[in-house]
């Protein structure tokens, strides 16, 4: 096991935001540093691992910083497999900073982003797919995204990759035994085993790749973009769907200046609902930027809700918004049905349309059903059951594994000397192993861990 000589420290909680704050240390001197600064209310001769002790934490100079609870988790039974210490203090920013400073003073070093998880990976407690799952869990903004990430942390990917690697290694040892006896022809039974086994592995990879898009949906949600000219009720629609006053609503056109995104689940489908700045010709640079952002989101939207004010005749600005979403899956939302209605021009009636009043809520269930129906094709089956791979890096490894396996098959059927198919199998194994980080180059590892926040 690789142990780092340095002991690191960082705040593990959002500083200044909670009732309790946690300062965490990892490394060989973690407990010695605690001994220098922590004084238990009921001193014991031998501190037990994994037990919380109440006491006071002092600055290196001696004055008490806070009343805290402290825990030691001795190696290797800790998150990093090193000695870990946690100090649970009051959540104030000043206190947390003083405690971190005190540990720096006695010799700890500030942790880099993701360094705790990186040590957990380097010490073999987590493989790379599990370490990545830790970031995904923190970043997850919907329950479904959290579920995929948790399954990954639990080792779902690790087990599948390990099993596939075993089968590849088995294939390789068969092929290598042929290398040792080059003069003998490959027996028919042997040949068909190699053929069938590689075909079955390829089918499994295809299956994972097919469900990859589901993984994206579970992680990110299908995006539903709310578009329309100013003041038609886009933000009111966002609030109505979410059931809370998330976005500011006023009768002043141009209220929403930037895009607002919220996750929610509709009919079992995870959605990312995006409210945008009203589309119109404008000179105000802030508004122009907001409109540009709205338009940029159009191309990546899975569905556009084009909102118009049904109580007014449609005008050139409405047409501007309509043009922005031509070519994309669009549902026309004719809002403000509580007011006397103006009629829709003929060229608008081709779009699927829902009549709605954000004020009274009339038409809401129809709107919900229409959204689910329009998006339904993108989602089949029980998402959580099917999804294994949802990370682009993993997909890339799977694609390269597939390429190598296909080259293996051609080398086999062309009757090439066994070294050639063996070479392809080794490449397939390497590509697959990158998912777990076993063959992943250092620069890629650094990039992955630098995406973490400090303290993780
Ligand atoms: N206070 C606190 N909460 C936390 C964490 C933490 O580090 N500290 N975690 C950090 O991400 C997560 C929990 N993950 C953890 C995973 C393993 C171990 C650990 O000590 N594992 C030992 C077995 C412990 C035992 O024997 O009970 C091991 O694997 O050997 C700790 C936390 C979320 N909650
Ligand atoms: N009568 C009526 N008024 C509505 C309805 N929906 C929204 N409004 C009103 O229309 C005005 C504009 O609503 P917003 O939701 O801010 O409109 P918006 O499209 O987000 O506007 P911008 O952010 O400026 O582009 C507000 O005064 C709302 O109260 C509705 O169904 N009926
Ligand atoms: Mg708005």
User: Are 196 and 70 in a shared domain?
Assistant: no
Q: Is the CB of 452 under 6 A from ligand 1?
A: no
Cα 280–chain centre separation = 34
Q: Is the CB of 77 under 6 A from ligand 1?
A: yes
Please say which residue of 94, 127, 160 terminates a domain.
127
Please say which residue of 109, 127, 145 terminates a domain.
127
Q: Which residue's alpha carbon is at the smallest distance from atom 16 of ligand 1?
A: 79
Instruction: Encode pLDDT of 282-320 as tens digits.
Output: 888 887 887 788 788 888 899 999 999 999 999 989 998
Note whether 258 and 277 are within 8 A (CB).
yes
Q: Is residue 454 part of a domain?
A: no
Distance CA 61, CA 103 (A): 12
Distance CA 87, CA 71 (A): 7
> Which residue range forms the structural domain that includes residue 143?
133-217+391-437
CA of 230 to the centre of ligand 3 (A): 7
Q: Binning pLDDT at 50, 70 and 90, where does residue 20 land? A: very high
Q: What is the pLDDT of residue 36?
A: 97
Using DSSP's 3-state secondary structure scheme, residue 244 falls into: coil
Give the DSSP H or E segment for 265.
strand 260-266
Q: Is the CB of 123 under 6 A from ligand 2?
A: no
User: Are 94 and 37 in a shared domain?
Assistant: yes
User: Are 28 and 100 in a shared domain?
Assistant: yes
Please say which residue of 384, 408, 424 terminates a domain.
384
Q: Binning pLDDT at 50, 70 and 90, where does residue 188 land? A: low
Q: Average pLDDT of 243-266?
A: 89
Distance CA 236, CA 226 (A): 11
User: Are 141 and 28 in a shared domain?
Assistant: no
CA of 282 to the centre of ligand 3 (A): 15
Q: Binning pLDDT at 50, 70 and 90, where does residue 171 land? A: very high
Q: Binning pLDDT at 50, 70 and 90, where does residue 23 land? A: very high
Instruction: Encode pLDDT of 43-64 as tens digits.
Output: 888 999 999 999 999 998 889 9
Q: Which residue's alpha carbon is at the smallest distance from atom 32 of ligand 2?
A: 336
User: Are 407 and 429 in a shared domain?
Assistant: yes
CATH value at residue 19: 3.30.1360.120
Cα 63–chain centre separation = 43
Annotated binding residue 255: yes
| CA of 77, closest atom in ligand 1 | 30
Q: Is residue 170 part of a domain?
A: yes
Q: Binning pLDDT at 50, 70 and 90, where does residue 101 land? A: very high
Q: Is residue 443 part of a domain?
A: no
User: Are 44 and 155 in a shared domain?
Assistant: no
Annotated binding residue 276: yes
Q: What is the pLDDT of residue 431?
A: 95
Q: Is residue 262 part of a domain?
A: yes
CATH value at residue 299: 3.40.50.300
Q: Is the pLDDT score of 383 beyond 70? A: no
Note whether 83 and 74 are within 8 A (CB).
yes
CA of 275 to the centre of ligand 3 (A): 7
Q: Is the CB of 278 under 6 A from ligand 2?
A: yes
Q: Is residue 455 part of a domain?
A: no
Q: Is residue 57 part of a domain?
A: yes
Q: What is the pLDDT of residue 406?
A: 97
**Residue spans of beta strands (DSSP E) within 130-205:** none
Q: Is the pLDDT score of 149 beyond 70? A: yes
Measured CA angle at 449 (ends 447, 453), to 5 deg: 120
User: Are 335 and 241 in a shared domain?
Assistant: yes
User: Are 180 and 277 in a shared domain?
Assistant: no
Q: Is the CB of 261 under 6 A from ligand 2?
A: no
User: Are 267 and 213 in a shared domain?
Assistant: no
CATH value at residue 173: 1.20.120.430
User: Are 19 and 104 in a shared domain?
Assistant: yes
Q: Is the CB of 335 under 6 A from ligand 2?
A: yes
Using DSSP's 3-state secondary structure scheme, residue 199 falls into: helix
Distance CA 12, CA 86 (A): 9
CA of 192 to the centre of ligand 1 (A): 47
Residue found under tokens 């104030």: 92
Count up the domains in the chain and report the number.
3
User: Are 283 and 359 in a shared domain?
Assistant: yes
Q: Is residue 451 part of a domain?
A: no
Cα 269–chain centre separation = 17
Environment of ion ligand 3 (residues, CB < 5 A): 234-235, 255-256
User: Are 409 and 373 in a shared domain?
Assistant: no
Tokens coding 285:
């640079």
């Amino acid at each position: 096991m690789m142990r780092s000589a340095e002991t690191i420290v960082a705040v593990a909680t959002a500083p200044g935001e909670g009732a309790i704050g946690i300062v965490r240390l990892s490394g060989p001197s973690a407990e010695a540093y605690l001994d220098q600064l922590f004084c238990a209310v009921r001193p014991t001769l031998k501190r037990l691992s994994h037990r919380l002790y109440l006491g006071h934490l002092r600055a290196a100079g001696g004055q008490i910083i806070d009343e805290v609870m402290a825990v030691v988790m001795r190696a290797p039974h800790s998150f990093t497999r090193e000695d870990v210490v946690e100090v649970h203090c009051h959540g104030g920013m000043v206190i947390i900073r003083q405690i971190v400073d005190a540990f720096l003073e006695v010799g700890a070093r500030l942790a880099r982003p993701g360094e705790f998880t990186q040590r957990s990976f380097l010490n073999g407690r987590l493989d790379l797919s599990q370490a990545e799952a830790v970031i995904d869990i923190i970043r997850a903004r919907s329950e479904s995204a959290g579920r995929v990430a948790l399954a990954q942390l639990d080792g779902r990917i690790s087990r599948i990759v390990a099993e596939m690697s075993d089968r590849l290694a088995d294939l390789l040892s068969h092929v290598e035994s042929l290398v040792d006896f080059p003069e003998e022809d490959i027996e028919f039974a042997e040949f068909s085993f190699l053929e069938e086994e590689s075909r079955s592995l390829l089918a499994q990879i295809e299956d994972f790749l097919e469900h990859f898009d589901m993984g994206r949906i579970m992680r990110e949600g299908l995006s539903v973009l709310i578009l329309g000219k100013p003041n038609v009720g886009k933000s009111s629609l966002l609030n109505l769907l979410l059931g809370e006053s998330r976005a500011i609503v006023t009768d002043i056109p141009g209220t929403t200046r930037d895009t607002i995104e919220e996750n929610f689940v509709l009919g079992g489908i995870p959605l990312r609902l995006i409210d945008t700045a009203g589309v119109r010709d404008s000179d105000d640079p802030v508004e122009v930027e907001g409109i540009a952002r709205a338009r940029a989101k159009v191309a990546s939207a899975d569905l556009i809700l084009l909102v118009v004010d049904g109580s007014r005749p449609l005008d050139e600005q409405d047409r501007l918004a309509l043009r922005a979403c031509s070519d994309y899956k669009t549902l026309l939302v004719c809002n403000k049905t509580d007011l006397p209605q103006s009629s829709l021009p003929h060229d608008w009636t081709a779009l699927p349309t829902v009549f709605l009043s954000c004020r009274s809520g009339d038409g809401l269930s129809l709107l919900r059903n229409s959204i689910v129906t329009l998006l339904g094709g993108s989602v089949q089956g029980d998402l959580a059951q099917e999804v294994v791979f949802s990370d682009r890096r993993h997909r890339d490894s799977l694609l390269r594994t597939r390429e190598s396996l296909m080259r293996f098959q051609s080398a086999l059927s062309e009757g090439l000397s066994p070294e050639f198919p063996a070479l392809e199998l080794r490449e397939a194994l390497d590509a697959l192993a990158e998912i777990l980080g076993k063959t992943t180059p250092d620069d890629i590892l650094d990039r992955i861990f630098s995406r973490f926040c400090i303290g993780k």
